[in-house]
A and B are shown apart, each in its own frame.
Chain A
Amino acid sequence: MDMQDKEFDQGFSAKFDGFEIEPSPMVWQRVANELDGKKGKRRLLSYLSVAASIIVLISAGALFFPQKAEQTRHQAVSNKMAANVDQPLLVITGKTSTQPVANTGLGNSLGSSANNTTKSIAPVTTNVAVVENTIADNTQKSNNEPANTDNRALTATIIEPPREIKQPVIPDKDVLAALKSPGIPQNIVEQPAAISGGTKPNEAPVKKHGIHSLGGLVNILVAKVDKRGDKLIEFTDDDDDNTASSVTGVNLGIIKIKKQSN
């Protein structure tokens, strides 16, 4: 019996001699954490929950914090125009730029400057100079009038010949109202319509923005996921020196908030 037991035991110990099992990688992590004095075993944070929290915070912040009203309004007008056309479009508000062309692309102080508000929505910096020259006549006429119309008085859309506008440009109500105010030459209002008349009117609006700010980046990311016309959340994408982007639209399905929709 004793001998049998020994053999029995040896049968086991021989089998387990050199027996190895690879531990899961988490074990070393836990050892290292404990050596560091951290006790927690569950250190795996769900990145999804973090991302969701950030979106919720941004949305809440944008909805509940007062926005920079006047500047944002101005930016919204520019954005609105851009939203209705394909990218290579220039929206020019106010008077023509007297600043270097490079500045219109990077645009560090155009929005805030009362008289120089040429705005490049898409990366068309090389074309800006040409376009400005061609429109100089049109806008020059109105140079004197819009001083009392909050810089939004004049709106002209100019496209380059080989590119097309996807949808007729419908000026913003505010802009229209402003344009109809006394002293504004009517031909300025007519101009966008005349240009857009030659384009394809039936295509769905395609929103394309360049990335000029954090808001633009978020817009593009949201657009990748949300294919609806009104995105889950939209920000201004101005290349102004305003570092903080403002929310221009929220679409939660039931609740839709959009700043100055067409």
Chain B
Amino acid sequence: MLLKPTSAIDELITRCKAGERYAQEMLYKQFASKMLGVCMRYAIDKMEAEDMLQNGFIRVFKKLDDYRGDGLFEGWVRRIMVHSAIEYYRRNHKIMQVDVTEIGNEPSANPEVIASMGVKDLLNIIQQLSPGYRMVFNLYAIDGYSHKEIAGIVGITEGASKSQLSRARTILRDMILKLEDKRYGHAG
């Protein structure tokens, strides 16, 4: 698994470190679409996501010297994008909602339903979450951060992270069910 990164990307990184504009553009083009896919989950629309992407790439180029070549470069870029997205929300949406309402048992959307949905539909319902829920759900469920890490990144307690994740799931399930109802009509 720990394959050495291709020499092509290594060379590109070296040239980027030297400040070569064309190499920077090549690097950008190689990762921009994928990283915008990440940012889209944290944003409410493409415009916001592109702002996050822009900030993220600025940071990538400025911090390139810090990249030691350990681990996949893409993973390193992705982490910077996620941080950039969180940073964006901290700056633009000061108040992180901490809704700690305990939740009972909800009707659970089964995994097949999610599998049958298009990625655009899933993106759409994630974007409808309030920023705090969206952030925690993205970080934990999709980008694989632990509650401890989330607490550090977002600036909330681990407990708050857990409860927000739980609440986010509930809301998402609810939205998925409603979507399914709309799609197939009510049975009764």
> Bound complex: CA of A31 vs CA of B34, how far in Å?
17
- Which residues of chain A in 1-59 are interfacial with respect to chain B, using CB atoms and an 8 Å cutoff? 1, 4-5, 7-16, 18-24, 26-28, 30-32, 34-35
A1 CB contacts on chain B under 8 angstroms: 105
> Bound complex: CA of A16 vs CA of B40, how far in Å?
10
B67 CB contacts on chain A under 8 angstroms: none
Select A9's contact among B32, B54, B57, B142, beta carbons within 8 Å. Answer: B142
B180: CB under 8 A from chain A? no
The number of residues on chain B lying at the interface, defined by a beta carbon within 8 Å of a beta carbon of chain A, is 38
Select A11's contact among B50, B114, B126, beta carbons within 8 Å. Answer: B114
B169 to chain A, nearest CB (A): 6
A21 CB contacts on chain B under 8 angstroms: 33, 36-37, 40, 46, 49
Select A8's contact among B37, B109, B126, beta carbons within 8 Å. Answer: B109
> Bound complex: CA of A18 vs CA of B33, how far in Å?
10
A234 to chain B, nearest CB (A): 46
B59 to chain A, nearest CB (A): 10
A24 to chain B, nearest CB (A): 7
The number of residues on chain A lying at the interface, defined by a beta carbon within 8 Å of a beta carbon of chain B, is 28
Residue of B nearest to A9 (CB): B141
Residue of B nearest to A28 (CB): B28
Q: By the criterion CB–CB under 8 Å, are A8 and B169 in contact?
A: yes
Q: By the criterion CB–CB under 8 Å, are A20 and B33 in contact?
A: yes
B108: CB under 8 A from chain A? yes
Select A13's contact among B37, B142, B173, beta carbons within 8 Å. Answer: B142
Q: By the criterion CB–CB under 8 Å, are A12 and B114 in contact?
A: yes
Known: A27-B32, A31-B57. A13 touches B141 (CB 8 A): yes
Complex A-B, nearest 4 residue pairs according to Cβ-Cβ distance, in ascending order: A11-B114, A9-B141, A20-B33, A19-B37
Known: A16-B37, A22-B33. 16 other contacts (CB 8 A): A7-B111, A9-B140, A9-B169, A11-B114, A12-B141, A13-B144, A15-B115, A15-B122, A16-B119, A19-B37, A19-B119, A19-B123, A20-B33, A21-B33, A27-B32, A31-B54
Q: Identify 10 residue pairs between A and B in the complex whose beta-carbon atoms are under 8 Å apart, listed by A's number.
A: A1-B105, A4-B108, A8-B114, A11-B115, A15-B119, A19-B119, A28-B28, A31-B54, A31-B58, A34-B54
- Which B residues fall within an 8 A CB radius of A? 21, 24-25, 28-29, 32-34, 36-37, 40-41, 46, 49-50, 53-54, 57-58, 61, 105, 108-109, 111, 114-115, 117, 119, 122-123, 126, 140-142, 144, 169, 172-173
